[in-house]
Amino acid sequence: MTGFDLIIRNGTVVTASDTMLCDVGIRNGKVVALADKLGTAAREIDATGLLIMPGGIDSHVHLAQPTSDGSVMADDFESGTRSAACGGNTTVIPFSLQERGTSLLKSVEEHHQRAKGKCYIDYALHAIITDPTPQALEKELPQVVQGGVTSVKIFMTYQDMALNDAEIFKVMEATRREDALTMVHAENFDAIQQMTERLERAGQTGPRGHAESRPIVVEREATHRAISFAELVDVPLFVVHVSGGDVIEQIEWAKRRGLPIYAETCPQYLTLTAEDLDNANMEGSKYVCSPPPRDKANQKACWDALARDVFSTFTSDHCPFIYGSDTGKKKAGADASFKYVPNGIPGVETRLPILFSKGVSEGRISLNQFVALSATNHAKVYGMYPQKGTIAIGSDADIAIWDPHKRVTISQSMLNHNCDYTPYEGMELKGYPVTVISNGEVVAENGRPVGSAGKGKFILRGKSSLVPSRHPFEA
């Protein structure tokens, strides 16, 4: 076969299951050939000594999401997808947020408008439900799912967002009906509030109080409760951003019981600790996220769980707020009390380099596990496989070419997000994406964007592979 648009030659192709030396032929934005030696192409990339992997999918990011305290997220769809691309990603899944008292359907439509024409790479959407009215669950959710937004996240904490037990139950019944996947942020809101008041009475209002106010027991309890409701309602459940050993125990307990319970972890739980929130000058607020980073023992528990495939995916939970400005409120909030610091840290660009370096280069996980955790499992869990998440004939030509030997020291100055800091400043890495290809076109090279935003398109997702077929007689 001749006449490719692009051939990537002489590299090692790595998928979640296979590692092979071969050329990759691309035409019309799709992978159309994998062979020992391919003919000619309009453009060729020599990947000698490099790894050719599916472009990363970051299935947990927050971009241009409205907030209840008026703080403004640093990244919109343009800067967020630019940063993602430069860090080896070719798809992101941000969240639309239904605010209390508003329409679920409208919240999704509004997020579509924020994204449209702005993206460097492809994107899908999840829907957050904070107001599970009959209108939202019975009338609007079916339309949302029909529109390719096939996963719903609920919060068990955060003012104006936390659902009570009855509401959690109702959302699960609705996602069951619509064949959507339920995702949960599991922390006990009431317990955190009581802990916060106790810390305030003791005058402990600095950023470290954020971690003290939500120890892992509040995450463990909520995780157990969410798992129990999922068992009662008979739905699969995806637990987001698991931070340590006690919660991993709950996930494994559920799996041992044969329950369809799945989970992700994130770079912050592998590399940061609660002590990072202690920094002088309130800079500890740069590390405020929920759940908070724990300690070394919990970092190890997360690594061990990644190595033995307890976690399905590895995500960034990119949620950037500018530290040094009033819009970001990271510093201003901390000056008053930790409870006013917006929750979330940037990380969409550093997620994969951290996992590659600390995971693959340091021998904790295999290359194939890296691909599963960075791309393939995201595509399966969120209904985009095999269009996304692998390198196979017919798949979208979404590819990240990695130099496994490239040494990089993470610094704010090299990153392409719109945030004004990185929590990983100074971290030394081995292995970095050098060329990132989205739908057959190069979108990032050596950590910098190529071309302009706007070609990334919305991916209308199908049903999650985790959701069982309950309707065997349907077409």
By the criterion CB under 5 A, which residues form the site for Zn ion?
185, 317, 471
Q: How far is the CB of 319 from Zn ion (least distance, A)?
A: 5
Q: How far is the CB of 469 from ligand URP (least distance, A)?
A: 30
Phi, psi angle pair for 125, to nearest 5°: -135, 145
Q: Which two tokens stand for residue 400?
A: 């990240």
Q: Which is nearer to ligand URP, 164 or 446 (CB)?
A: 164
Q: Which is nearer to Zn ion, 298 or 315 (CB)?
A: 315
151 makes contact, choosing from ligand URP, Zn ion, none, with CB < 5 to 8 Å by partner type, with none
Q: Which is nearer to ligand URP, 76 or 398 (CB)?
A: 76
396 makes contact, choosing from Zn ion, ligand URP, none, with CB < 5 to 8 Å by partner type, with none
471 makes contact, choosing from ligand URP, Zn ion, none, with CB < 5 to 8 Å by partner type, with Zn ion
Q: How far is the CB of 421 from ligand URP (least distance, A)?
A: 15
Q: Which two tokens stand for residue 343?
A: 């929750």
Q: How far is the CB of 309 from ligand URP (least distance, A)?
A: 23
Q: How far is the CB of 62 from ligand URP (least distance, A)?
A: 6
Phi, psi angle pair for 437, to nearest 5°: -120, 125
Q: Which is nearer to Zn ion, 65 or 90 (CB)?
A: 65
What single DSSP character describes residue 467?
S
Q: Which is nearer to ligand URP, 338 or 370 (CB)?
A: 338
Q: How far is the CB of 271 from ligand URP (least distance, A)?
A: 15
Residues in contact with ligand URP by the rule CB under 6 A? 62, 185, 289-290, 317, 319, 343-344
Q: How far is the CB of 187 from ligand URP (least distance, A)?
A: 9
Q: Which is nearer to ligand URP, 46 or 69 (CB)?
A: 69
CA distance 51 to 113: 36
**Direct distance between the N- and C-terminal alpha carbons of the chain, in angstroms, rounded to an integer:** 36
Q: Which is nearer to ligand URP, 243 or 416 (CB)?
A: 243
Please enumerate in sequence order all residues whose Cβ is within 8 A of that of 186, keeping only pairs 6 or more positions apart, or say none.
Answer: 156, 219, 222, 223, 225, 226, 239, 240, 247
**How wide is the angle at C-alpha 153 spanned by C-alphas 150 and 159, nearest 5°?**
155
Q: Which two tokens stand for residue 158?
A: 């955060």
410 makes contact, choosing from Zn ion, ligand URP, none, with CB < 5 to 8 Å by partner type, with none
Q: Which is nearer to ligand URP, 192 or 443 (CB)?
A: 192
The helix-helix angle for 189-201 and 216-233 (nearest 10°) equals 160
State how far the alpha carbon of 455 is from the alpha carbons of 12, 28, 60, 301, 446, in Å: 28, 14, 21, 40, 20
The helix-helix angle for 245-256 and 296-307 (nearest 10°) equals 30
343 makes contact, choosing from ligand URP, Zn ion, none, with CB < 5 to 8 Å by partner type, with ligand URP
CA distance 183 to 176: 12
SS3 89: strand
289 makes contact, choosing from Zn ion, ligand URP, none, with CB < 5 to 8 Å by partner type, with ligand URP
Q: How far is the CB of 219 from Zn ion (least distance, A)?
A: 10
91 makes contact, choosing from Zn ion, ligand URP, none, with CB < 5 to 8 Å by partner type, with none
Residue 326 amino acid letter: D
On whether the CB atoms of residues 323 and 331 are closer than 8 A, the answer is: yes
